[in-house]
Every structure is written in structure tokens, then in C-alpha cells.
């Protein structure tokens, strides 16, 4: 019983630490594009700034996973949180564009801690409880990200033409530092589960792609969820500068919108997805979710008023909230038992790469073909993903 209580306490401490960290991260989301534009960045550089974080996070996720196997989960998690504090402070004090890129690179290096958090959960949960623990991890992650942009919107001040840029970055640094202090005193170093394998090496993830293509169902699901991440990355990196030009939004309004998106995602993934999956199954819900998201992205170029933008956001939230978890579940449930970790690692790598390519592609289209082109392309890409998801459904039913 004492062991069970210790595991629960450790899991609770981790979830609170992750929540605090993501509140700090979410605060800066609405402001980064406007801060970059202040230093003369155009759409291509703004979106490259978003991709910079993802590039370094992707590259360092393997290193932090390896380091946590050898040095312990707690020290690496606290180190990553302290790195986020330094990144946010650097953003607040930045007086040149190169500093923004350097600060976001630093943030990506130290923000690549998701694999460490997942390993921590594997250490403090039994195999039968692991899915629930990972679900709670995702909920804490999403809830923090939901609250962060809304808080950032409040900190921007009431004047959309002259927002307060620096205060949100300093508050984000303060929130992350609270996470460091909380983790230092309340986050225990977990005992390693004997059934928990060490962190996957990069070579393991590369070999995982060959196993992905060995199953038509898995390959279709991985391709579909990767395309969803590609489009979502493009939307997140261009939406602020698009609404700035179309409806003259500033950081405050953008922060409220991302908070609204996050609330809808929490409602869908936290309360609705379970009953819907039980009734219809992941394979039937997945293509519906992708199609609904395609509608939301595709109609954005014709959303010239705030109510229509809000409606588009609802479609995007519902579609992404249904499609992504269903596709990930299909990947997990159809992967061979002896290749589960390898295939899931390959899928996560593909989705991480999509978060790099999505913003850079969207920025290029925005700058060369016009502000609406990323969303027209995004709608087309999602229709392709919907077709792949539908094929996945047929392949699964024929097995």
C-alpha cells in the first residue's frame, strides 16, 4: 500500500510540475510572432522562429532521454525547467532578431523533455496503469498550454496597437521558476520499473520506419497523423500574422483565441473522446476528425469576420481533438507487441519532423503566394490525410 501511495504521489508531483511548465510555455505563444515583427522579421522568418524551437527539441530529445537513464529523471527534468527560465528571460531582454532565434533554440534544447516525463511515468506506474498515466500526462500538458495563452492575452494590456511585449516573457520565466522550486522539493526520484526498457536510441527509431510500412493500417495511420501535425504547425506559426492583417488582432486577441482552442480540445479529449470511441471505434472516428479539421482550415481564407474565425476554430479543435488521439490509438493497437515501442517512437519522430516542416512551408507560402495560401494548402493536405485514414479503416475491417 505504501508503495502504491508513493507512486501516486510521484505521479501527482510530476503532473503538477508539467502543468506549471506548460503554463509558462503557453504564455509566450501569442507574442512571439509580434515580437519578431518588431525587429523586422517577415512571414518566412516568423515561421522559421517557430521551427527553430522544434528543430532543437527534436535533436536533443534523444540526448535528454539517454541522460535521464544515467543521471536520474529528476535532475534532468529540473535542468530542463531551468533552461526554459533562461530562455524566457532572454526573450524578454532581447533587442535584436538574432537573440530571439538564439533564445528559442535554447528553449528547444531544454524543452525536449517530453520523453523524460514519459519515462518517469513508466517508472512510477504498473503496465496496466500506464495508458492512464500517459493520458493524465497529456491532460496536464494540454491544460497548462490552454491556460498559458489566455494569461498571456491578459498580460498584453488593453491596447492592441501598443501591447506590452516584455511582461509576458518575464511572467513566463517566473512561472517556470516556480516549477523548478516545486519540483526541487516535491518531485521524488522514481525507482526504475524492471519492466521498463531504457530510452530508445536514434537508430532504434530509424529502424522503426521499416516496421511502420510493414503494416498497411499502421502506415496509413502514421501518415495521416503526421500530415495533421504538419498542417497544425503551419497554422500555429502563421495564424497571428494572418489575423493581424485580416481583422487587426494583436497579441491579446490571439492569446484569447488559442485559449479558446485549448478549452475545446480539453473538453473533447478529456470528456467526449472516450464515449465516442466506445460507440463508433477509432477507425470510424479518425477520418471524420480529419475531415472536420480540413473544413476548419480550408474555410479560413473566407473568414473575414471574428464570428467566422471563431467558427473555423471550433471545426479545427473538434477535428484535431478527434483525429489525432484516434490515429495514435490505431497505431498502438495495430503495432506488433514486440515492436510497439519502436513503432510508436518512429511515429513520434515523424510527427516531430512535421512540426519543423509545417511552419517553414507555411511561412514560404505566406510570403510568396499570399496570406491565404497556407490554409488552402492545409485543407488539401488534410483531404489527402482523410483519404489515407479512410483507407486505413477499410484495411482494418478487411483483416
> What does the block give as the cell for 276?
465516442
- Looking at per-residue pLDDT, the higher value among 1 and 360 belongs to 360
pTM: 0.81
Encode pLDDT of 152-195 as tens digits.
Answer: 888 877 666 677 878 888 998 998 899 899 988 888 888 765 44
Cα–Cα distance for residue pair 399/388, rounded to 1 Å: 17
Superfamily of domain 1-188: MFS general substrate transporter like domains (1.20.1250.20)
Mean pLDDT of 209-232: 82
- Looking at per-residue pLDDT, the higher value among 213 and 72 belongs to 72
**Region class of 67: left (phi > 0), else alpha (psi between -120 and 50), else beta:** alpha
Reported residue count of the chain is 399
Q: Which of 26-40, 143-157, 262-276, 376-390 has the highest mean pLDDT?
A: 376-390
What integer pLDDT is reported at residue 194 of this predicted model? 46
Domain definitions of the chain by residue range: 1-188, 202-399
**Region class of 370: left (phi > 0), else alpha (psi between -120 and 50), else beta:** left
Cα–Cα distance for residue pair 23/323, rounded to 1 Å: 24
What integer pLDDT is reported at residue 198 of this predicted model? 45
> What does the block give as the cell for 321?
481533438
Decide if pLDDT at 222 tops 80: yes
Cα–Cα distance for residue pair 202/208, rounded to 1 Å: 10
Do residues 46 and 170 make contact, with C-beta atoms less than 8 angstroms apart?
no
Closest alpha carbon to 167 in 147, 178, 151, 145? 151
Confidence of residue 247 (pLDDT cuts 50, 70, 90): very high
- Distance, C-alpha 222 to centroid of its chain: 16
User: Identical fold at 1-188 and 202-399?
Assistant: yes
> What does the block give as the cell for 273?
473522446
Coil/strand/helix, residue 389: helix
- Portion of the chain with pLDDT greater than 70, in percent: 82
Q: Encode burial over 16-55: b for 16+ CB neighbours within 10 A, e otherwise.
A: bbbbbbbbbbbbbbbbbbbbbbeeebebbbbbbbbbbbbb
What integer pLDDT is reported at residue 205 of this predicted model? 54
Cα–Cα distance for residue pair 146/140, rounded to 1 Å: 10
Encode pLDDT of 258-303 as tens digits.
Answer: 888 888 887 887 778 778 888 888 888 889 999 999 999 999 999 9
What integer pLDDT is reported at residue 262 of this predicted model? 82
Do residues 392 and 216 make contact, with C-beta atoms less than 8 angstroms apart?
yes
- In sequence order, what are the residues at sequence separation of 6 or more whose Cβ sits closer than 8 angstroms to the Cβ of residue 26? 144, 145, 146, 147, 148, 149, 151, 152, 258, 262
What integer pLDDT is reported at residue 337 of this predicted model? 62
HSE on the CB side for 175, CA within 13 Å? 25
HSE on the CB side for 351, CA within 13 Å? 18
Decide if pLDDT at 11 tops 50: yes
Encode pLDDT of 113-144 as tens digits.
Answer: 776 877 787 777 776 566 566 667 767 777 77
Do residues 28 and 168 make contact, with C-beta atoms less than 8 angstroms apart?
yes
- Portion of the chain with pLDDT greater than 90, in percent: 28
Superfamily of domain 202-399: MFS general substrate transporter like domains (1.20.1250.20)
Amino acid at each position: 500500500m505504501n508503495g502504491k501511495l508513493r507512486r501516486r504521489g510521484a505521479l501527482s508531483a510530476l503532473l503538477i510540475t508539467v502543468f506549471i511548465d506548460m503554463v509558462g510555455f503557453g504564455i509566450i505563444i501569442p507574442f512571439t510572432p509580434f515580437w519578431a515583427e518588431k525587429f523586422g522579421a517577415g512571414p518566412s522568418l516568423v515561421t522559421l522562429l517557430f521551427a527553430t524551437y522544434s528543430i532543437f527539441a527534436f535533436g536533443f530529445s534523444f540526448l535528454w532521454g539517454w541522460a535521464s537513464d544515467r543521471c536520474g529523471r529528476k535532475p534532468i527534468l529540473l535542468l530542463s525547467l531551468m533552461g526554459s527560465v533562461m530562455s524566457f528571460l532572454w526573450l524578454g531582454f532581447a533587442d535584436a532578431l538574432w537573440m530571439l532565434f538564439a533564445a528559442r533554440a535554447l528553449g528547444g534544447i531544454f524543452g525536449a523533455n517530453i520523453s523524460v516525463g514519459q519515462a518517469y511515468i513508466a517508472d512510477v506506474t504498473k503496465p496496466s496503469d500506464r495508458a492512464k498515466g500517459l493520458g493524465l500526462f497529456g491532460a496536464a500538458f494540454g491544460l497548462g498550454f490552454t491556460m498559458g495563452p489566455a494569461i498571456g492575452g491578459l498580460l498584453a494590456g488593453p491596447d492592441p496597437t501598443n501591447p506590452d511585449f516584455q511582461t509576458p516573457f518575464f511572467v513566463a520565466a517566473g512561472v517556470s521558476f516556480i516549477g523548478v522550486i516545486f519540483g526541487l522539493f516535491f518531485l521524488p526520484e522514481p525507482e526504475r520499473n524492471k519492466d521498463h526498457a531504457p530510452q530508445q536510441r536514434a537508430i532504434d527509431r530509424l529502424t522503426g520506419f521499416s516496421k511502420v510500412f510493414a503494416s498497411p493500417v499502421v502506415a496509413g495511420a502514421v501518415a495521416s497523423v503526421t500530415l495533421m501535425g504538419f498542417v497544425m504547425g503551419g497554422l500555429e506559426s502563421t495564424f497571428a500574422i494572418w489575423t493581424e492583417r485580416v481583422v487587426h488582432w494583436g497579441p491579446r486577441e490571439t492569446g484569447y483565441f488559442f485559449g479558446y482552442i485549448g478549452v475545446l480540445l480539453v473538453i473533447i479529449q478529456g470528456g467526449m473522446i472516450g464515449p465516442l470511441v466506445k460507440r463508433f471505434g477509432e477507425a470510424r472516428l479518425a477520418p471524420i476528425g480529419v475531415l472536420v479539421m480540413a473544413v476548419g482550415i480550408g474555410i479560413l481564407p473566407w473568414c473575414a469576420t471574428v464570428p467566422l474565425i471563431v467558427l473555423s476554430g471550433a471545426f479545427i479543435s473538434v477535428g484535431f481533438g478527434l483525429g489525432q488521439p484516434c490515429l495514435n490509438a490505431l497505431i498502438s493497437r495495430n503495432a506488433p507487441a514486440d515492436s510497439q515501442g519502436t513503432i510508436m517512437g518512429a511515429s513520434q519522430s515523424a510527427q516531430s519532423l512535421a512540426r519543423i516542416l509545417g511552419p517553414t512551408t507555411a511561412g514560404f507560402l505566406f510570403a510568396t503566394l499570399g496570406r491565404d495560401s497556407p490554409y488552402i494548402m492545409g485543407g488539401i493536405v488534410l483531404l489527402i490525410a482523410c483519404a489515407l485514414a479512410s483507407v486505413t479503416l477499410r484495411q482494418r475491417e478487411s483483416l
